[in-house]
Amino acid sequence: MNSHDFVIGFDADDTLWHNETNFERVHERYRALLAHYHDAATVDAALLATEKRNIPLYGYGAKGFTLSAIETAIQLTDGKIGATEIRQLLELGRSMLEHPVELLDGVREILAGLAPRHPLVLITKGDLRDQERKVAKSGLADFFRAVEIVSEKDAASYAAILRQHRITPQRFLMVGNSIKSDILPVVELGGAGVHIPYHITWELEHATPPSGAEGRFFAAGKMAELPAIVAGWSARK
């Protein structure tokens, strides 16, 4: 890409399409499956601890979640969980992988309006095959100059992507629902970020907004506010 372009990066899950609602639906069924062993709070805490411990091995996404869910179920039942219940857990994981891609309101129209004026890049983390499926099923791929699927969204990952595509950090704006993954690493590199929260945020994605980022951090209530933010940001450059 031309180093003089104003480039906009987009997160995918819970920024362009629904994702965490699918996880929450599965969480509810998981709690019900283990209800005769433990209360919901105990199940949630144990599963979160297992997921956090396993992320370096399994990464993010439905497959890693399923493995962590099975491990937690064995732990919480002292090994008493049966093959039928484990099969149900596997089916829950499969249902997540087969779930249709449902776009958030107005996403297609906003991308269509921005793409002719700015190069757009999709940057998402998670299981490669599942993310590729969602990108293809979304019908949004043609709006993006590049699609990057990474195992972690940290400053090093973003720096590598910016170098690869010859994007100057000061002319890069990242849009996403996670302050931890979509905003803080980009601001650290000298770029800007627009936080558009989703109504559910996974606990491991919680973070506080960046400090000392005047003019480089924008909080939006909904995607419809993005075009005005982009126009103001690029005009100040």
CATH number of domain containing 67: 1.10.150.240
Of 46, 67, 97, the residue that ends a domain is 97
Answer yes or no: do 116 and 230 share one domain.
yes
Answer yes or no: do 87 and 105 share one domain.
no
At 17 the three-state DSSP class reads strand
Of 80, 97, 114, the residue that ends a domain is 97
Q: Is residue 2 part of a domain?
A: no
Dist. CA 113–CA 107, nearest whole Å: 10
Answer yes or no: do 109 and 222 share one domain.
yes
Q: Which two tokens stand for residue 203?
A: 């606990």
pLDDT of residue 133: 96
- What is the pTM assigned to this prediction? 0.93
Q: Is residue 221 part of a domain?
A: yes
- Helix H, strand E, coil C: the string for 172-222 is EEEEECCHHHHHHHHHHCCCEEEECCCCCCCHHHCCCCCCCCCCCEEECCC
pLDDT digits (tens, 9 = 90+) for 90-125: 999 999 999 999 999 999 999 999 999 999 999 999
Average pLDDT, the chain: 95
Dist. CA 32–CA 39, nearest whole Å: 9
Answer yes or no: do 73 and 91 share one domain.
yes
Answer yes or no: do 65 and 91 share one domain.
yes
Q: How far is CA 187 from CA 7, 197, 209, 235, 237, in A?
A: 14, 17, 10, 19, 16
Answer yes or no: do 223 and 191 share one domain.
yes
Answer yes or no: do 224 and 207 share one domain.
yes
Of 97, 119, 151, the residue that ends a domain is 97
Q: Rg for the chain (alpha carbons), in Å?
A: 19
pLDDT of residue 2: 73
pLDDT digits (tens, 9 = 90+) for 152-182: 999 999 999 999 999 999 999 999 999 999 9
pLDDT of residue 107: 98
Domain, as residue range, for 61: 20-97
**Residue 108 is part of a domain; what is its CATH number?**
3.40.50.1000
Through-space distance between the first and last CA atoms of the chain, rounded to whole angstroms:
18
pLDDT of residue 213: 86
Segments in the chain below pLDDT 70 = 3-4, 237
pLDDT of residue 214: 87
pLDDT of residue 212: 85
Q: Is residue 154 part of a domain?
A: yes
Answer yes or no: do 70 and 123 share one domain.
no
Q: Is residue 1 part of a domain?
A: no
| Per-position b or e across 174-195, b if 16+ CB within 10 A of its CB | bbbbbbbbbbbbbbebebbbbb
Q: Is residue 172 part of a domain?
A: yes
pLDDT of residue 43: 97
Answer yes or no: do 107 and 87 share one domain.
no
Q: Is residue 194 part of a domain?
A: yes
Total number of domains constituting the chain: 2
Answer yes or no: do 185 and 150 share one domain.
yes
Q: Is residue 127 part of a domain?
A: yes
Closest of 99, 19, 65 to residue 73, by C-alpha = 65
Answer yes or no: do 223 and 143 share one domain.
yes
